[in-house]
Structures are given as structure tokens and as C-alpha cells.
Amino acid sequence: MDINCDLGEIDPSLHLEKSLMPFLTRCNIACGGHAGNVTTIKETMMIANEHNVKIGLHPSYADTENFGRKDMNISIGQLQSDIAQQLESAINIADKLKLNIDHIKAHGALYHTLNNDKTFADAYIQTVQSFGLDKKLVYIVKNKGALHQSCVENNCAVLFEIFADRRYDDRGELIPRSQRNAIIEHAKQAAENTKERLKAFGLQNPFINPEDLTICVHSDSPKAMEILQSIQFLEI
């Protein structure tokens, strides 16, 4: 399975990144909006390269105080400026290291805004495309969300995401982090949740190739390592 993880966020020593990287297909590296700095971006990219893990950008609202997980009432122009600043820094580092950027995934509250608001999703893609990245750049999105629609209209490649360590409601929507039991902290439960979400996704979207799916485990989950190990070889 394709497994992604948000990295370069919470451990300045990058010990966590070194521990988790061998279990990943791709990593999403914080670009300074909610976490991360020039040093963590560079070092995380280098660790990913050592393990042949695909490198991705992980921009967010410019909000370190709330770790990018609070909705921000900002203009589209401000969002584009904030995203451009984050991407410019990360792309320059990747260029100096001669490393390829494979994908991009928005973080936290921005992820939900882009999947729910078409105007912001369009502006986001316009900003990303202004950097002239490889046309094969992959956007990690929610299936049938606003960002997915914008990607289709702009001929952007996508991966649809399922969260191993987050609970879903009866409609198949993520339960907000503010609610009790929204986070799954036990590896066995995360593995069962992943199985259930993959089966539900397949039933709801029978024409989508399983290769177009990616499973997310958050690096700030208390049992991230155990969860990653539990979903490595799931039989669906």
C-alpha cells in the first residue's frame, strides 16, 4: 500500500523522521507555516532521499500557534501569499539538494478548507502551478471534494487519501479533532479502521484504481510507529 506521513513538524532532532521513514512510501514535509524551518526541511528531505521515500510539500495556514489546525478567516490573496512563501523556501532547498518534489498535501485546517471551498481550491492550484513544478506533481486530496474537482479541471494528478489514525462518522466524514475519540491511538484499532475505510471506499468508488489511494498516519500520533507497522501488510 501507498503510505504517507506528515513529517518535519514536532521533533527538532529529527529522530522521529529517521525512525518512521523506512515504513513510508511518501512523506509530506512541513514548510514553515504550521511547523518546520530551513533546517528541518533540508534534513527531512535528505533522510527521505536516503530511504527512497517520495518527497512532498506540506503547506498550511501561517499559524504556528495553533499548529495549523484552526480555521483562519483570511482573504484569497493572503492565502496565496502565505502558500507561495512556504513553497518558495522548500522548493529552493530541494533544488539545491537536486531532489525531486513528487507531491503536495495541504495541512490541517487548510486541507479541509481546500476540500470544501472551490474558490480557495482554485487559488491554491494556481499558486502551486506558478512555481513551474513537474506536470506530474501529485495532489493528495479528498475524493469528490472541491480540491479534487479543481485538480480534474486543471489536469492535475491526484491521490485519494484515507486516514488510518482518525475516526469517521456514518457519512464517511472525518470526526473533528475537537470531539472525543476522534483520534485512534492503538495500532490494532488503526489497522481495523484502515481495513474498514478501504472497503467502504471501494464500494462507494468501484471505478477508482486502488493504486490511486494513499493511507495517512500522522507523525504526532502517540503510537505512530506501531500504527505504521500494523498497516504495512494488511490483507483487504
The secondary structure of 111-179 as a DSSP string is HHHHHH-HHHHHHHHHHHHTTT--TTPEEEE-TTSHHHHHHHHTT-EEEEEEETTB-B-TTSPBPPTTS
Q: What is the pLDDT of residue 135?
A: 81
Q: Is the pLDDT of residue 236 over 70?
A: no
Location of C-alpha cell 471534494 = 145
Determine the Cα–Cα distance for residues 171 and 159; give it in Å rounded to an integer.
21
Give the structural domain span for 212: 3-231
CATH number, position 30: 3.20.20.370
- The domain total for the chain is 1
Torsion angle defined by CA atoms of residues 23, 157, 39 and 107, in that order, rounded to the nearest 10 degrees: -80
Residue 236 lies in a domain: no
Q: What residue type is 119 in one-letter code?
A: T
Put simply, whether the predicted model's pTM sits higher than 0.75 gets the answer: yes
Residue 157 lies in a domain: yes
Q: How far is CA 66 from CA 32, 50, 186, in A?
A: 13, 31, 25
Determine the Cα–Cα distance for residues 229 and 30; give it in Å rounded to an integer.
23
Mean pLDDT of 194-208: 93
Residue 31 lies in a domain: yes
Average pLDDT, the chain: 95
Residue 132 lies in a domain: yes
Q: Is the pLDDT of residue 235 over 90?
A: no
Mean pLDDT of 132-142: 93
